[in-house]
């Protein structure tokens, strides 16, 4: 098959959402390659808004992979959690890959429940994901309750902390590990030795800085991959984690995306948390395809050399 003509000279529009962050992109076909200038504009919009919504996209799996690869390398998924369609495509659904509604008690649906906790994708990796791209294949009907994806802005969450708390958090690290999410539900199979060796526990700074935003600080805690703070007494660390988890849930930091079929949503895992809103998994079908941009380096904290090198000593 010959390559489709690129999106040259398309007049598209970037319209910020009426919300604390995010933008909607109109007039762009994500199934065809972006020309350099358009790609630059979308990159800049991503750096500025962190959440991009493209409506009415008709996108095959390989086209979604190609779209995502324009922004960088994709993550491959070594973890055997049975929700992968292909090494680069996550099947986020309460429906099997052959189209059967699985229901709330099925192990695949229970994996989805881990997504209902505030998180960033693959925070349990030494280099977590930069961003994710998710496509709405089947979504809940308009009158059904739940099923949204909620996003929370961690720049705002950091800035909303008291000065004393900011100071306390500055040198701290959270322990992230894949097994934590699997252990939350006893229906999920135990993590094998092989998986454990592929994704052993890692630590990331609780205050991270954003390389595309002049190293602006944001809060980085997740609730699906751990609740321990490195170097702190276990109980005290968990209490601090609980307090922060409550803080990041404030509605003021949040954008709720109500899915329409054929939405393509791209988000920045370096400064947003996200979670799936619950819904009746026995009744409604919900099917997404997710591709995931690999991170470009370790999570930077305020003490990283990258920051120190910018400042006169």
Point out which residues bind ligand OGA (CB under 6 A).
90, 92, 115, 121, 149, 274, 276, 288, 290
Copy the structure tokens of residue 113.
């429940």
Nearer to ligand OGA, 115 or 238 (CB): 115
In the bound state, the residue with its beta carbon closest to ligand OGA is 276
Per CB under 5 A, 81 contacts Mn ion: no
Nearer to ligand OGA, 54 or 90 (CB): 90
- The H-or-E segment that residue 228 falls in is strand 228-229
> Which partner from the list Mn ion, ligand OGA, none does 135 bind, CB cut-off 5 to 8 Å by kind?
none
C-alpha–C-alpha distance, residues 30 and 53, integer Å: 11
Nearer to Mn ion, 102 or 272 (CB): 272
C-alpha–C-alpha distance, residues 68 and 91, integer Å: 16
Site string for Mn ion, 104-123 (x = CB under 5 A): -----------------x--
Burial readout 94-110 (b: 16 or more C-beta within 10 A, e: otherwise): bbeeeeebbeeebebbb
| Other beta carbons within 10 Å of 5 | 9
> Which partner from the list Mn ion, ligand OGA, none does 289 bind, CB cut-off 5 to 8 Å by kind?
none
Nearer to ligand OGA, 172 or 299 (CB): 299
> Which partner from the list Mn ion, ligand OGA, none does 92 bind, CB cut-off 5 to 8 Å by kind?
ligand OGA
Shortest separation between residue 115's beta carbon and ligand OGA, angstroms: 4
Phi (first) and psi of residue 67, to 5 degrees: -60, -50
Helix, coil or strand: residue 144: coil
Nearer to ligand OGA, 237 or 253 (CB): 253
Nearer to ligand OGA, 35 or 73 (CB): 73
Shortest separation between residue 209's beta carbon and ligand OGA, angstroms: 23
Residues facing 208 on adjacent strands: 218
Cα angle vertex 143, ends 60, 260, to 5°? 20
> Which partner from the list ligand OGA, Mn ion, none does 276 bind, CB cut-off 5 to 8 Å by kind?
ligand OGA
Burial of 20 (0-12, 13-18, 19+ CB in 10 A): middle
Binding interface with Mn ion (CB under 5 A): 121
């Amino acid at each position: 098959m010959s390559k489709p003509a690129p999106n040259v000279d398309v007049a598209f529009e970037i319209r910020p959402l009426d919300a604390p962050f995010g933008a909607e992109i109109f007039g762009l076909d994500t199934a065809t390659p972006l020309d350099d200038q358009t790609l630059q504009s979308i990159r800049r919009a991503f750096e500025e808004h962190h959440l991009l919504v493209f409506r009415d996209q008709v996108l095959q799996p390989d086209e979604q992979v190609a779209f995502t690869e324009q922004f960088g390398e994709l993550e491959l998924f070594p973890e055997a959690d049975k929700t992968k369609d292909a090494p680069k495509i996550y099947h986020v659904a309460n429906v099997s890959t052959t189209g059967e509604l699985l229901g709330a008690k099925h192990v695949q649906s229970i994996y989805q429940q881990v997504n209902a906790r505030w998180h960033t994708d693959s925070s349990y990796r030494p280099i977590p994901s930069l961003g994710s791209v998710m496509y709405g294949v089947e979504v809940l009907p308009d009158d059904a309750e739940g099923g949204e994806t909620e996003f929370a802005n961690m720049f705002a969450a950091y800035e909303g902390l008291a000065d004393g708390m900011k100071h306390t958090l500055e040198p701290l690290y959270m322990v992230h590990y894949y097994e934590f999410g699997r252990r939350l539900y006893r229906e999920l199979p135990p993590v094998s030795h092989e998986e454990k060796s592929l994704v052993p526990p890692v630590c990331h700074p609780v205050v991270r800085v954003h390389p595309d935003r002049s190293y602006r600080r944001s809060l980085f805690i997740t609730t699906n991959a751990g609740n321990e703070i490195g170097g702190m007494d276990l109980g005290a660390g968990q209490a601090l984690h609980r307090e922060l988890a409550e803080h990041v849930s404030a509605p003021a930091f949040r954008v709720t995306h109500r899915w329409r079929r054929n939405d393509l949503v791209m988000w920045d895992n370096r400064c947003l948390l996200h979670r799936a809103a619950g819904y009746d998994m026995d009744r409604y079908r919900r099917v997404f395809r997710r591709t995931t941009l690999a991170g470009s380096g370790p999570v930077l904290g305020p003490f990283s050399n990258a920051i120190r090198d910018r400042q006169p000593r």
